[in-house]
């Protein structure tokens, strides 16, 4: 059964696992996933252009794009004039083709957003809260879930899943002012917690991994598909993307930047995230007589407070220099991107300070440039939201293995 993009199919009980009534066995076809991704990246394209990008034949692209048009995942974007012969029709992704929800749960905030298929955030809410427990997060999720369903242009049948980004050791890492009851997260099934009001699949991912995936699909990673991502939140995380694929490691714990041991005459800490994180910065400021309610306060402190922030940036850059040299030598990425909850101006200053210190290191054959990530604060939530879309519609090594 075919539908126009303006009237997407409804989910039916006969359809089984489906995207708006469309049998997802077709979406599981790897050539279709590759075709859809080629249309997503770089704007509207003609069938010959898609064929050239994917290595598939024009007749194969014609068959695949017909299915995608029927499913409402792409639309005809207008004819391309100026070439020989009849003007060719261009194809583009349909922003309303599908939606997903991204939820970022952290020790100092909870962010939820609704992402469309074109990568635009259609609705968003952030709760600045310290150490929110499972029940409070579930209530926040359910309240915003109901609001998202009322968003203009969004049909519930087109929401294909929920992605969750959260630290792996969220309730195990000792942070200042952490209440004892926060340990409830250690025994909480997040998928079950969030499934009380819907039957959508829930995917849980490490927050740094989700941020790196968000950067890959919506940020600098679209042009530089091999990079290391540094996530500065209440803790410190890292994510490694190699040639467009997230690298997890043997136990799924690659990129654990925050747990690297620290030996420095400048500070007495055991691990890197005890010195380089928002929690560490807040404690550093507190030790210097200043307090902040959230990251937004970091740019409005009195001059002595701003001077303390600058001192922390220098310390953080100093402590990150060794790990970033190791990243460049061992991995040789195209770039290192810094994101997270630090205000953009501070991320820029941290990246510049780190670049200066790295440039003074002698004997390193190739140093990856360091710069601010494109997505910054919302990267974990956006990366979480892309997880259901990757799982069901986009190409990945896992999808190829299944095929």
What value does the mean pLDDT take over residues 169-179?
Answer: 77
What value does the mean pLDDT take over residues 82-107?
Answer: 87
pLDDT at 200 over 50: yes
CA angle centred on 277, ends 271 and 283, rounded to 5°: 95
Give the per-residue pLDDT at 19: 28
Give the per-residue pLDDT at 228: 98
Percent helix, strand, coil in the chain, to 5, is 45, 20, 35
Q: Are 246 and 227 in contact (CB under 8 A)?
A: no
Give the per-residue pLDDT at 16: 27
Give the per-residue pLDDT at 20: 28
Cα 163 from chain centroid?
A: 10
- Kindly tell me the burial class for residue 281, based on how many C-beta atoms sit within 10 Å of its own C-beta (0-12, 13-18, 19 or more): buried
Q: What does each C-alpha distance from 347 to 87, 97, 298, 334, 373 come to in angstroms? A: 47, 35, 12, 19, 9
Give the per-residue pLDDT at 396: 67
Query: Which segment, 37-46, 59-68, 175-184, is predicted with the most confidence on average?
Result: 59-68
Specify the fold of 13-93.
Arc Repressor Mutant, subunit A (1.10.10)
Architecture of domain 220-374: 2-Layer Sandwich (3.30)
- The residues of the chain that CATH labels 1.10.10.10 are 13-93
Which DSSP category does 212 fall into? H
- The residues of the chain that CATH labels 3.30.420.40 are 99-212+381-402, 220-374
- pLDDT tens across 279-307, in order? 999 999 999 999 998 899 999 999 999 99
pLDDT at 147 over 80: yes
Residues 6+ apart with CB under 8 A from 246: 209, 212, 213, 216, 239, 240
| Confidence bin at 374 (pLDDT 50/70/90) | very high
Please state the three-class secondary structure of 180-191 as a single string. HHHHHHHHCCHH
- pLDDT tens across 240-252, in order? 999 989 999 998 8
> Within 10 A of 198 (CB to CB), how many other CB atoms are there?
17
Q: What is the assigned CATH class of domain 99-212+381-402?
A: alpha beta
Locus of tokens 């991704």? 37
CA angle centred on 284, ends 282 and 289, rounded to 5°: 90
pLDDT at 401 over 50: no
pTM: 0.83
| Confidence bin at 2 (pLDDT 50/70/90) | very low
Which of 258, 200, 251, 201 lies closest to 229, judged by CA?
258
**Percentage above 70 pLDDT, the chain:** 89
pLDDT at 369 over 60: yes
pLDDT at 191 over 60: yes
Q: What's the rounded Cα separation, in Å, for the pair 276 and 317? A: 9
pLDDT at 311 over 90: yes
pLDDT at 170 over 90: no
- pLDDT tens across 330-344, in order? 999 999 999 999 999
pLDDT at 22 over 60: no
Give the per-residue pLDDT at 252: 87
- pLDDT tens across 6-20, in order? 333 333 333 222 222
Give the per-residue pLDDT at 81: 58
> Within 10 A of 343 (CB to CB), how many other CB atoms are there?
16
Give the per-residue pLDDT at 398: 55
State how beta strands 121-127 and 159-166 pair: unpaired
Q: What's the rounded Cα separation, in Å, for the pair 210 and 166? A: 9
């Amino acid at each position: 059964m075919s539908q126009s993009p303006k009237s997407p199919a409804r989910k039916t009980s006969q359809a089984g696992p489906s995207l708006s009534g469309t049998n997802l066995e077709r979406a599981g076809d790897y050539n279709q996933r590759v075709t859809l991704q080629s249309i997503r990246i770089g704007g509207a394209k003609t069938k010959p252009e898609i064929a050239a990008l994917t290595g598939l034949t024009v007749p194969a692209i014609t068959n695949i794009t017909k299915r995608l048009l029927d499913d409402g995942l792409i639309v005809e974007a207008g004819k391309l004039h100026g070439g020989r012969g009849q003007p060719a029709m261009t194809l583009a992704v349909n922003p309303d083709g599908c939606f997903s929800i991204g939820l970022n749960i952290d020790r100092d905030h909870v962010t939820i957003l609704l992402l469309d298929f074109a990568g635009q955030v259609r609705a968003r809410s952030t709760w600045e809260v310290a150490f929110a427990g499972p029940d409070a997060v579930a209530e926040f999720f359910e309240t915003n879930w109901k609001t998202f369903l009322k968003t203009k242009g969004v049909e519930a049948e087109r929401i294909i899943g929920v992605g969750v980004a959260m630290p792996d050791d969220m309730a195990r890492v000792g942070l200042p002012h952490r209440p004892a009851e926060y340990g409830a997260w250690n025994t909480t099934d997040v998928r079950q917690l969030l499934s009380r009001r819907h039957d959508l699949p829930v995917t849980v991912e490490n927050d740094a991994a989700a941020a790196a995936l968000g950067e890959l699909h919506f940020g600098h990673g679209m042009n530089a598909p091999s990079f290391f991502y540094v996530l500065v939140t209440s803790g410190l995380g890292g994510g490694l993307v190699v040639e467009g694929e997230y690298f997890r490691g043997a136990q799924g714990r690659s990129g654990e930047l925050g747990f690297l041991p620290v030996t420095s005459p400048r500070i007495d800490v055991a691990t890197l995230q005890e010195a380089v994180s928002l929690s560490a910065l807040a404690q550093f400021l507190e030790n210097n007589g200043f307090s902040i309610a959230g990251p937004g306060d970091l740019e409005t402190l009195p001059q002595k407070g701003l001077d303390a922030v600058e001192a922390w940036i220098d310390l953080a850059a100093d402590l990150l220099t060794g790990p970033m040299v190791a990243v460049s030598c061992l991995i040789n990425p195209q770039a290192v991107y810094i994101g997270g909850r630090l205000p953009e101006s501070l991320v820029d200053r941290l990246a510049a300070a780190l670049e200066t210190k790295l440039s003074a290191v002698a004997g390193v054959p190739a140093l990856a440039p360091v710069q601010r990530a494109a997505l910054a604060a919302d990267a974990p939530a956006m990366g979480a939201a892309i997880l259901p879309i990757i799982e069901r519609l986009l190409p990945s090594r896992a999808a190829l293995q299944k095929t």
